[in-house]
Amino acid sequence: MRRNYLIVLLLLATLGVAVSPALAETPKLISWVATDKVNIGSNFTGTRILILGGISQPGQIIIKLRSPDQKVSMKLKTRKGPFWLGSGKTTITGAPGIFQLLSSAPRHTQLSQAVLEHHELSNASILDDARFQPRPKNIERWRTAFLQLKEKQQDYIENEHAVTLVGGHVFFSKVILPTSIPLGNYQLSIYLTRNGHIVAHQIHNFVVHEISMERWVTDFANKDSWLFGLIFVPLVGFLGLIIGLTLRRIAT
């Protein structure tokens, strides 16, 4: 925690806020993210990433986290009498696996709907470039179902009180990553809003990747799934047999 306080002081000194009561004419934003790399191993249970920042003029903060795109297959069912019947299936591509919007106040009180959509600052806007194959007839129904599924799984999060402002010039927040997340480059965008406009913003990036043996096994399984099954399934069975015989010998 002491390290975090020092970082805040350095941020403020960079902005000039800590040494001068006069506010700069042009709003400035500076921020710091606790890591640029997330390692995933067999014991990964999620993680939290701290975000600290300073602003030269009072305003509100919006933080957007977007992961790499992730393919999702969906099926919908329709109720007919006492029965639920399948009403089709589709595969969605071009939508992020993880998407989070964190802010210090409700976004619609900071920016117009047009600005929010232009900067992809709403859950609905992230599906503008998404592709549905095969394309269903009632596309809006599928879009709504997809967003509801992602929100239920906590993959898509909107929290309008997740950024804390202190003294009008310091802010902090944290991004919570769940256990199951896509690998690759994540983009963290931070916006300073004031009087209905985005007056400053910064972009940070961090990488999520699997480490050592876990990554090799995953790549092997994805590239040569048939060979992976041919080798590893018998191997697991053999190891299970050895463990069983060992435990039986110990018991006797």
Per-residue tokens: 32 = 């710091």
The pTM assigned to this predicted structure is 0.75
Contacts for 90 with CB less than 8 Å, ≥ 6 apart: 73, 74, 132, 133, 134, 135, 136, 142
List the pLDDT tens digit at each of the 252 positions of the chain: 555 555 555 555 555 554 455 445 678 899 999 999 999 887 888 999 999 999 988 899 999 999 999 999 988 766 665 555 566 788 999 999 999 999 999 999 999 999 999 999 988 888 888 999 988 888 888 899 999 999 999 999 999 999 999 988 899 999 999 988 999 999 999 999 999 999 999 999 999 988 755 555 666 667 667 676 676 677 767 767 777 677 677 666
| Per-residue pLDDT reduced to its tens digit, 193-241 | 999 999 999 999 999 988 755 555 666 667 667 676 676 677 767 767 7
Q: Which residues make beta-bridge pairs with 202?
A: 190
CATH 2.60.40.2550, domain 2-210, yes or no: yes
> What's the CA gap between 246 and 145, in Å, rounded?
50
Q: Which residues make beta-bridge pairs with 48?
A: 176
- Comparing CA positions, the residue from 50, 61, 54 lying closest to residue 1 is 50
Quote the longest CA-to-CA distance of the chain.
Answer: 82
Give the pLDDT confidence score for residue 10 in this predicted structure. 57
Task: Tell me the backbone φ, ψ of residue 85, rounded to 5 degrees.
Answer: -115, 145
Contacts for 111 with CB less than 8 Å, ≥ 6 apart: 119, 121, 193, 196, 197, 198
Peptide bond into 134 cis (omega under 30): yes
Going along 70-213, which residue ranges are E strands? 72-80, 83-93, 99-103, 131-133, 156-159, 164-166, 170-177, 184-194, 197-210
Q: What ranges do the domains of the chain cover? A: 2-210, 211-252
Per-residue tokens: 9 = 């002081």
Contact (CB, 8 A) for 94 and 129: yes
Per-residue tokens: 182 = 């896509």
| 228 membership: H or E segment, kind and range | helix 225-251
Q: Which residue has the tokens 């463990």?
A: 243
Give the pLDDT confidence score for residue 112 in this predicted structure. 94
